[in-house]
Amino acid sequence: MEPTTTQMNGGVGSTILIVAVILWLVQIVSFWKVFAKAGQPGIFALIPIVNLVVLMKIVKRSGWFVLLFFIPLVNIVWLFVINIEIAKKFAKGVGFGILMSIVPIVGYPILGFGDAKYDANA
């Protein structure tokens, strides 16, 4: 007996869900490691919005700047600005900050698990 279309789609959906959860876990652990390297509590990586406040703290910005993430189009520009600043704090260049903005699942693990050191004065 051949599987029905619904049965085949269920397998694809399950696979996509498993991959998505794995990518989410990698991103969370990477954020945790980056926060820890910057002297911030890693547990805050798990809390939405609070993790953005911690990112602002890492780049020496007021927590109020988080509000810019909620303004359409401004949030895209602000994401690039913040990621470039984070990259500089870890002695990486502007190109790396752009990579972190476009493909965070690559950029943040490199920062978190790599040998990059946080420099608060950068």
What DSSP line would sit under 18-57, residue for residue?
A: HHHHHHHHHHHHHHHHHHHHTTS-GGGGGSTTHHHHHHHH
Percent of the chain with pLDDT over 70: 92
State pLDDT tens for residues 9-34: 667 788 899 999 999 999 999 999 99
Global pTM value: 0.85
Mean pLDDT (the chain, rounded): 92
Domain range summary for the chain, segments of one domain joined by +: 5-113
Token output for 109: 């693990």
Mean pLDDT of 77-98: 97
